[in-house]
Amino acid sequence: MYKVIYPTTGCLRATGQALVLVLLLGAGAAFGSEKGQGTLNQALEAVATRQQMAHPLPDIEPGLAVEIQDLVMMNLAPDYGGVAGYWWSVASNQDMVVSCLLENMFTSSGATLDTVQGSEQIVQLGWMLRVRPEGIEMVEAASRWYEYFSELIPTVVIRDRLLAPEQKGDWSAMTMINTGVRYLVLGMPWQITKEEGVTLFGAPLEALLADGAEKKLAGASILSAGGKGLGRIDQLRERLSARGRLLRGSDLVWLGPTGSGVPLGETGRLSADFSTPLGQRRIVFAIRSPDST
């Protein structure tokens, strides 16, 4: 049985979330229902055990799905810390799904990451942006969008495949389990100045994932960020604003993937090579099964 942590003002402050939730947990609210509580328990169990669910999550309206996501994140907070950024993906209806990134989900090149027996993990390559110290309340029309960020960071994202197959693209279900984000491995960043930003985002950004034998793994491709960045950041800001959140100074924000996720096969050493007009970076990491010595 899980001890469910419900958000209060103090709890939100402790986990670093600039958010005020009005969750009417009594007086006929959704969490007072058997369906709402059961859905929360199912999402919590899947995230905690890292096991794919045998049965789909119940159909939940979007507002409640976001509340369940917040509750799941707060139950992870004692081990994973507060919100330090946001990752986004796209549901089958092409709607943006926003996931919270917690402080202890992040690690750096050279890390060894644990898998879970009987569970499948998905790897994606992409790029994180670090918000400048002043944060982002609004984007001025005369400014280039990337001027609101201080760093471009090559990133490997590892997610647990938690949803039942028939529900893998469902917006509400993806939101409730926070899209299964588990680890983010960060490489050495590129600084974004006005001059370097023009160069960085004026050409494609490339990434390639390879195994220990330097064999290319399927799923890596090219991301062209220059013309799409503003739309993505504005959409993310709108989604966060609807939740009472802003992009704060030093928050990390997902710019986008370089291709579809690659299922992890056998454990071992992997490398990801990133290339920009300003140079190259490499992230090396290892995957370790729980029964390995």
| pLDDT tens, per residue, the chain with 293 residues | 344 444 433 333 333 333 333 333 332 344 556 777 889 999 999 999 999 999 999 988 999 999 999 999 999 999 999 999 999 999 999 999 999 999 999 999 999 998 888 778 999 998 999 999 988 876 666 678 888 899 999 999 999 999 999 998 999 999 999 999 999 999 999 999 878 888 888 788 888 888 876 777 654 555 555 556 777 888 898 999 999 999 999 999 998 766 677 887 666 889 999 988 889 999 999 988 766 65
The CA distance from 119 to 160, in Å, is: 7
Residue 105 pLDDT: 97
Do 50 and 118 form a contact (C-beta atoms < 8 A)? no
Q: Does a structural domain hold residue 97?
A: yes
Say if CB 88 and CB 98 are below 8 A apart.
Answer: yes
Tell me the C-alpha to C-alpha distance, in Å, between residue 10 and each of 7, 63, 74, 143, 288: 8, 22, 12, 37, 37
Q: Scan for tokens 């993505």, then name that residue.
A: 232
pTM here? 0.85
Sign of CA dihedral 174, 177, 180, 181: positive
pLDDT at residue number 77: 95
Q: What is the pLDDT of residue 55?
A: 93
Which residues touch 128 (CB under 8 Å, ≥6 apart)?
Answer: 85, 152, 153, 155, 184, 186, 252, 253, 254, 255
Q: What is the pLDDT of residue 139?
A: 64
Sequential DSSP letters for 171-238: HHHHHHTGGGEEEEEE-PPEE--HHHHHHHTTS-EEEEEEETT-PBPTT--EE--TTTHHHHHHHHHH
| Angle formed by the axes of helices 34-49 and 62-80, nearest 10° | 40
Task: Decide if 43 is inside a domain.
Answer: no
Domain contains 3:
no
Give the pLDDT of residue 232: 83
The tally of domains found in the chain comes to: 1
Q: Give the CATH number, domain containing residue 112.
A: 3.90.850.10
Q: What is the pLDDT of residue 17?
A: 36
In a domain, 173, yes or no: yes
- For residue 257, tell me if it sits in a domain: yes
**Residue span of the structural domain in which 187 resides:** 83-288
The pLDDT value given to residue 266:
65
Q: Answer yes or no: is 87 within a domain.
A: yes
* Alpha helices in 91-193, H assignment, sequence order: 171-176
CB contact set of 266 (below 8 Å; sequence gap of 6+):
none
